[in-house]
Copies of this chain bind each other. A is one copy, B any other.
């Protein structure tokens, strides 16, 4: 077994202790005492009430599961929360089993609300969902959204007067409807405890930024631990073509995509009542 490098000025052992949580925990959790487990917990302790990944029928799977993977790789043990127990089917056909229902989850340290299309608009009209999110937000460390999940937070009134982003489609117009200060096309935006991200894959970057903030007391602004998580995910993206946001996309491709969303979503969107001042 190669030896731990002894020239480190920061504590390699400290990393190792934390990194144990990354992948070892699922295998060795049974062998650790409660106290040993506690020393592995992040500070601030977001495991007390936990990180809930909210899921609903028709949501975009990666909106939810990108952040879930980042948080779990960081050892933060996120779980899937649904309105009720059972399986939900994402827009891509993926069937996911709910781990905890609203009734099981009166409080969370971090909430992630994914987006989608028509089903996300339907979520904004579900008062049980909106009320649960408002209740969770009262005591959360972070309340976050990915992609059009911002429409749900917006309907709940949580974006009022706040800087916020969402997926690219009519971002400024839609965010204004929720009385947010639009930051269209920004990858993610922190405004107090409300964190919003751009479309789908931006949830990965947002979750990494949250991890960095959770570990920002480490003397290096959380950079080292975030790097460890990124290495574990080998998160050094390199798409085969340039693209991924409107400015980097061929104007005709952009226009076609915008038309498509206009065609099947815009009329629905316009039906939503404005949120109160």
Binding site for B on A (CB under 8 A): 1-2, 4-5, 8, 10, 12, 15-16, 19-20, 22-24, 26-27, 58, 60-62, 65-66, 68-69, 72-73, 77-80, 87, 91-97, 99, 117-118, 147, 167-168, 187, 198-202, 204-205, 208-209, 212, 223-224, 226-228, 230-246, 248-250, 252-257, 259-264
Contact = CB atoms under 8 A, between A and B. Distances in A.
B246 A20 contact: no
Contacts of A80: 93-95
Given A99-B95, A230-B239, A252-B8, A257 B19 contact: yes
A243 B230 contact: yes
A256 B62 contact: no
Given A65-B62, A92-B69, A252-B15, A241 B264 contact: no
Contacts of A15: 252-253, 256
A75 to B, nearest CB: 10
B240 A226 contact: yes
